[in-house]
Structure 1
Amino acid sequence: MNSAATTPFATGPARAPRLMLSRLLKTAAIDARGQRLGHLVDVIVRLPADGGYPPVTGLVAELGRRQVFIPAEVVRAWQPDRVELASARVDLRAFQRREGEVLLRADVLGHRLLDTANARLVHAHDVELTAGPAGGWVLSGVDVHRLRWLHRPGHHPHHPFRDWLAFEPLIGHQPSLRVRHPLARLRRLKPAELADLLEDASAPEQREILTQVHADPELEADVFEELDDDQQSHLLADRSDAEVADVIAHMRADEAADAIAGLPHERRLPVLGLLPDQHRVKVTTLLGYHNATAGGLMGVDALALPGHTTVHEALQAVHQATTTQPEALATVYTLTPDGRLAGAIGLVALLQADPDATLHTTADPDPVHVPAHADQIEIATLMADYNLPTLPVVDNDHHLLGVITIDDVLDETIPANWRRREPAPHHHGAGAAA
């Protein structure tokens, strides 16, 4: 593991003091007179809104049979075997958790974290506290390596703790979740990675991940598009019609149609009725096709222009098509005045063509196409034989109905069990895999 994977404040001769939670738990709480008051049962931190290192705000100590709160500012010294207080007086009122507080033993130790550096869920087997440069202590590191039976608790001879900022905690405490920074470090992950995590997560973990993802409607829709049909239906089932419509309204029309089709029959029309008019028309059109045909696979958004359009004008149209699926823009199509498919030109060929030439003279006048009833085998064979990133779908009169993109075909043709193979290593964040 390289140095980027270790916790902060770890360089130079003046290495900041640090403590491991596993050693702190059950240690004695000593008052200013040296008397043992009780023992430590948990450490409290607050997750900052800026996503930085959580500061320690207090302790939970057990005095007799009562658990009480000890503010961090009254702790005079932190030692591996005891915590020394600056006062002999302790508020004996029973500890009550406040909004935004995270208990390291109850919420983190032994629970799963989202490893954003490697896009997977891991268990926290220990956590590390580091003395901050401005005073106080912060939660700085986490150990996701399971200890072998011959290792003593708190003893980590072969690996360092990893930086806390490489993880997103799934603490399962809704009041604390509400005050956290929206999305936090989840933006490091791609929608497909978040979908894989959701499929591996428990129900409470799913709820927490989705609560954060919900802060970005576009990301939420992208994640739902990447879920398999059963998981998508399961996660939408607990939402109201309005909430389901809100997600589907941000999805591509073809993906939205699949999501609608996965709902119980009695919910389809109410959800459709809540969609924006233009989106509802597209989705309703696609629902008229069997999902295993070209009509069921296609998207209705495509860039189709008159044949007299110049190459320069076509590129301007690509530039302005910000709401069209990017994969569909790999090919520009030309139409006759009555809307029939007349030609196709790839984006690279368009970039290399004379800007003043017209599409009529540069586009392929006989593009490969399929009818709406074509099956998946025919579609995949044509796209493979002709190296097509997109495939137009036409009706009986050759009018352009929509476009199938290569990602739609891959989703349908890759065997389901391939999706469950061991994922490849990820390299888009700091921290080596455990």
Structure 2
Amino acid sequence: MLDAMQPDDAADLVQELPEQMAEETWCQPMEPEEAEDVRRLMAYGEHTAGGLMTTEPVILGPEASIATALAHVRRRDLAPALSTMVFVVRPPLETPTGRYLGVVHLQEMLREPPYEPIGTIIDDDVEWVLPSDPLGKVTRLLATYNLTVLPVLDEDRHLLGAVSADDVLDRLLPDDWRDADDAVTDASLTPGGGRG
């Protein structure tokens, strides 16, 4: 089951298990690459960018065509928040990557010819965070710049992963938010909040 999960979700699950059960979980066969990603994520604090990030955003080199990038963001296993942005780096393309160059926004790719390389439309002004940066900073940057995802870089500007808005919301909302009844009723949606 852990192999099928995004690394950030797998790390969260293992951290929530009782210690003995967590150790037994690690004894189960798991792809070495996936296990390494999960171990790396578990090393960061729960309320830091590193603890929130996934190590599997869409990552391509600058020479990749827009058509190739669009094919990557169409993957069914990709979280919707991660499909809005392609991270452009120098090789290696696996996290931790080579030097981070910037991002390419989905909307920008849709406006350009598919044969153009994504390196021609890189946005290098998108704010990024360090893995040690706190949840508050991540939240402020996502809200300030209306982003669904932020790059997480190390001090040498290697891409380590990305934090998506949905993972931030999972941390900000109470644990039982999925089970809670809707606080908003139909009457409260009417002008005047349904009050007489």
Q: Which category of TM-score, normalised to the shorter sequence, fits these structures?
A: 0.7 to 0.9
Report the Cα offset of residue 425 of structure 1.
7.2
Aligned to 2:169: 410
Kindly indicate whether the alpha-carbon contact (under 8 Å) linking 1:301 and 1:328 is maintained by their aligned counterparts in 2. no
SS at match of 2:38: helix
The reply to whether residue 290 of structure 1 matches residue 45 of structure 2 is yes
Measured against aligned partners, the alpha-carbon deviations of 1:186-222 in whole angstroms (never above 9, x if no partner) come to: xxxxxxxxxxxxxxxxxxxxxxxxxxxxxxxxxxxxx
Does residue 325 of the first structure (1) align with residue 83 of the second (2)? no
Q: Determine which of 282, 293, 304 is the counterpart of 2:59.
A: 304
Q: Tell me which amino acid in the other structure corresponds to 1:261.
A: Q
Q: 1:379 pairs with 134, 138, 148, which one?
A: 138
Q: Within 2, Cα distance between the matches of 1:372 and 1:261?
A: 18
Q: Is the 8 A contact 1:343 1:360 kept in 2?
A: no
Cα deviation, residue 272, structure 1: 1.4
| CA-CA distance at 1:395 after TM superposition | 1.0
1:262 aligns with 2:16: yes
- Of stretches 358-367 and 296-305 in structure 1, the one that deviates more from structure 2 is 358-367
Query: Secondary structure, in 3 states, of the residue corresponding to 1:323?
Result: coil
2: distance between equivalents of 1:335 and 1:285? 20
| AA in 1 matched with 2:149 | T
Which residue type is aligned with residue 301 of structure 1?
E
Which aligned pairs between 1:81-100 and structure 2 lie closer than 5 A? Answer: none
- Given candidates 327, 332, 356, the residue that maps to 2:115 is 356
| Number of residue-to-residue matches in the alignment | 179
- Give the TM-score normalised by structure 2: 0.81
| Alpha-carbon distance, 1:365 to partner | 2.2
**Whose relative contact order is higher, 1 or 2, with alpha carbons under 8 Å and at least 6 apart?**
2
Partner SS, residue 4 of structure 2: coil
Aligned-pair CA distance for 1:309? 1.5
How far, CA to CA, are the matches of 1:249 and 1:312 in structure 2? 29
| Pairing of 1:30-429 with structure 2 (within 5 A) | 246=1, 248-277=2-31, 278-319=33-74, 321-337=75-91, 339-414=98-173, 420-422=180-182
* Rounded Cα–Cα distance in structure 1 between residues aligned with 2:18 and 2:174: 26
Unaligned segments of structure 2, at least 5 residues = 93-97, 187-196
**Cα distance, 1:308 vs structure 2:** 1.6
Please state how far the C-alpha of 1:398 moved relative to its aligned partner.
0.8
Larger Rg: 1
The separation in 1 between residues aligned to 2:76 and 2:139, in whole angstroms, is 27
SS at match of 1:355: coil
Contact 2:73 2:84 in 1 (8 A): no
Native 8 Å contact 1:312 1:356 kept in 2: yes
Task: Give percent identity, aligned residues only.
Answer: 31
Show the counterpart of 2:194. Answer: none
For residues 29 and 54 of structure 2, the distance between their equivalents in structure 1, rounded to whole angstroms, comes to 17
Counterparts of 1:284 and 1:418, CA distance in 2: 27
The SS at the match of 1:403 is strand
- Secondary structure at the residue paired with 2:107? helix
Partners of 1:266 and 1:418 lie apart in 2 by 28
Letter of the 2:17 counterpart = L
More helix by share: 2
CA distance in 2, matches of 1:423, 1:387: 25
The one-letter code of the counterpart of 1:422 is D
Report the Cα distance in structure 1 between the residues aligned to 2:71 and 2:127, rounded to whole angstroms: 25
Over 6 Å off, 4+ runs: none
What RMSD in Å do the two structures reach over aligned CA positions? 2.3
Cα distance between partner residues in 2 of 1:335 and 1:366: 14
CA distance in 1, matches of 2:80, 2:145: 20
| Cα drift, residue 414 of structure 1 | 3.2
Q: What 5-or-longer segments of structure 1 have no aligned partner?
A: 1-245, 427-434
Which secondary structure does the structure 1 equivalent of 2:104 belong to? strand
Asked if 2 retains the 8 angstrom alpha-carbon contact of 1:370 and 1:391, the reply is: yes
1:349 CA displacement: 1.7
Q: Give the CA deviation at 1:265.
A: 1.6
